[in-house]
Amino acid sequence: MKKVIFTIALIAFTLSAAAQTTGYKPKTFNDSASYAIGKDMYRAWNQQGIGIDVEAVANALLNSKAGEEAWSDSLMQNLLMRFQQAVEERQRARVQENIKKGEEFLAKNKLNKGVKTTESGLQYKLVSSGNGKHPAATDVVKVHYTGKLIDGTTFDSSVERGEPITFPLQQVIPGWSEGVQLMDEGSTYMLYIPHNLAYGEQQAGIIPPGSVIIFEVQLLEINPKEEGAE
């Protein structure tokens, strides 16, 4: 509840400062920071499917500042409680829809040539082989990867950044840890990770809750030496 109230307050402040003009350009640091907060909050609302009338929010702040249309605390709390319940219901429905889409995708994908499924439900496909050396769960690995949603949207890519990433296999999502251990050094695999082996029912950046995620992973090195080490 407090999170919703705080979010509304922030976005209302931003909209009032911006005067709700499409050509608005921040002039000061405070303007720019406020504008950034507004854009971030609106993006978060949009990703979570929260239907907010931003004009009404801005007008509420302006009217309150002018001392008009005072509402009782009990009315405010009742409205906000009902709103929070509606948001949670929409989010639960959205999660279940994403889970269903993911299950349908995996059911079809497992029939594709070369795709194998582990006991956990992880699906993988060999793209190119390496030297036969596999990492253990306790190892550190260096990889290049591209992550996508099932609709083809890229949400992260070390390839696009031009810089591989190094991490301990014990500190990543279960689907990554299991999938990379199947790989041999130098190989490239496709990993199709069910939501329960990824981020579950939580939003993760632009990854919707309940999503299956797909990675193309190249295992560059197992237990890479630190830069500058002999």
Number of domains in the chain: 2
Amino acid identity of 22?
A: T
Domain carrying residue 177: 101-222
pLDDT digits (tens, 9 = 90+) for 73-119: 888 889 888 888 888 888 899 899 999 999 999 999 999 999 999 99
Q: How far from each other are the two terminal CA atoms of the chain, in whole angstroms? A: 55
Rounded distance between C-alpha atoms, residue 102 and residue 91, angstroms:
16
Asked whether residue 37 is domain-assigned, the answer is yes
Please say which residue of 53, 70, 87 terminates a domain: 70
Average pLDDT of the segment spanning 150-162: 96
Q: Give which of 195, 186, 227 is closest to 214, Cα–Cα.
A: 195
The residues assigned a catalytic role are 145, 155-156, 173, 199, 215
Specify whether the CB–CB gap between 224 and 140 falls below 8 A: yes
Residue range 162-206, pLDDT digits in tens:
999 999 999 999 999 999 999 999 999 999 999 999 999 998 989
* 118 in a structural domain: yes
Looking at residue 101, its pLDDT comes to 97
Asked if the structure places residue 84 within a domain, the reply is no
Q: Does any domain span residue 42?
A: yes
Q: Is residue 83 part of a domain?
A: no
**Same domain flag for 21 and 119:** no
Same domain, 48 and 107: no
Q: Supply the DSSP symbol for 121.
A: S
Cβ count within 10 A of residue 214: 20
Whether 133 and 57 map to the same domain: the answer is no
User: What is the CATH number for 144?
Assistant: 3.10.50.40
Which residue shows structure tokens 């979570």? 48
